[in-house]
Amino acid sequence: MKKVADMIDVQAVKAPTHPVTATSGESEETVWLDTPRSGRDRWLHIGAIQFGRLGMVAVLLAVWQVASGRWVDEFWISKPSAIWDVLWGWISRGEILTHLEATLTEMALGLFFGALGGVVFGFVLGRVKWLAELIDPLVTAVYSLPKIALAPLFILWFGVDLLSKVVLTAVVCFFLVFYNTYAGVRAVDDDLVDVVRVMGGQRSDLLLKVVLPSSATWIYTGLRLAVPYALIGAVVGEIVASNKGLGYLLAHAAGTFNTSATFAALFILMIIATFLNFLVDWSEKITSRRQ
């Protein structure tokens, strides 16, 4: 499975081998490391940066608000106050909860089943070399297919409800977790396996005490990559065909030429994606500290 291994290396570069600071905290962290500041100066510095960021967003929104209807037709770019009205409407009517719940459920279920399948499949193919060799071309072919292109098929098969999106999300996540798990299991040091065999280790010992812990970082990398893709899978599935969810909200708004609602839906997606990134960075900090 040479080709497979090549693909994995690309992803392996992103493996959490050393603690990476979250993007949001990077600027003050680096400045602080280069020029050590005393306690009060440091807080002033952090405060100034945060204030500056807020100011930047405020200026951007203000320019947008002013430009809209004056220099650019409001039809194309809407305006922040109108977007806020739509957002607030969704929130106050509680409508947003239905959509959020739908998208997050699809994401969570898809991620769970996709990751589970990826880990199991990766383990089996990683350990059973002839099987890996046998189905390598098949796996590579399916992997090469843009998974998003499967959305219409899944909707045909599983309907416009939850199931079709869960399946699409699961397929997208499956490959990320599978390839990383597979690479991790293949990367297990044979000498460690031999050492444990001479110690009297049975098959189960080899799996639980050598293969699993040594491929854990790889599996984790796969999971980390899969999280943002789970959002993509769920939203694209909804855009193609659905009656609820953030993707539906987005597609419906754009379909009815409602620019404000389109921006509002994008804004919610941005918030969710940022939050997911934060979660991933945070879990990475926790795990890298443990290593």
Binding site for other proteins (CB under 8 A): 189, 191-192, 194-201, 205, 209-210, 213-214, 216, 291
End-to-end CA distance of the chain: 30
Minimum CB–partner distance for residue 42 and other proteins (Å) = 30
Shorter beta-carbon distance to other proteins: residue 141 or 199 = 199
Minimum CB–partner distance for residue 217 and other proteins (Å) = 9
Q: Spell out the long-range contacts of 88-95 with Cβ–Cβ below 8 A and sequence spacing 24 or more.
A: 90/264
Between the CA of residue 88 and those of 25, 81, 93, 94, 136, what are the distances in Å?
Answer: 30, 10, 8, 10, 51
Shorter beta-carbon distance to other proteins: residue 141 or 198 = 198
75: left (phi over 0), alpha (psi -120 to 50) or beta: alpha
Minimum CB–partner distance for residue 136 and other proteins (Å) = 22
Shorter beta-carbon distance to other proteins: residue 5 or 216 = 216
Shorter beta-carbon distance to other proteins: residue 258 or 288 = 288
Minimum CB–partner distance for residue 183 and other proteins (Å) = 17
CA distance 238 to 250: 9
CA atoms within 13 A on the CB side of 160: 10
Minimum CB–partner distance for residue 17 and other proteins (Å) = 11
Shorter beta-carbon distance to other proteins: residue 33 or 199 = 199
Sign of CA dihedral 113, 116, 117, 118: positive
How long a stretch of residues is the chain? 291
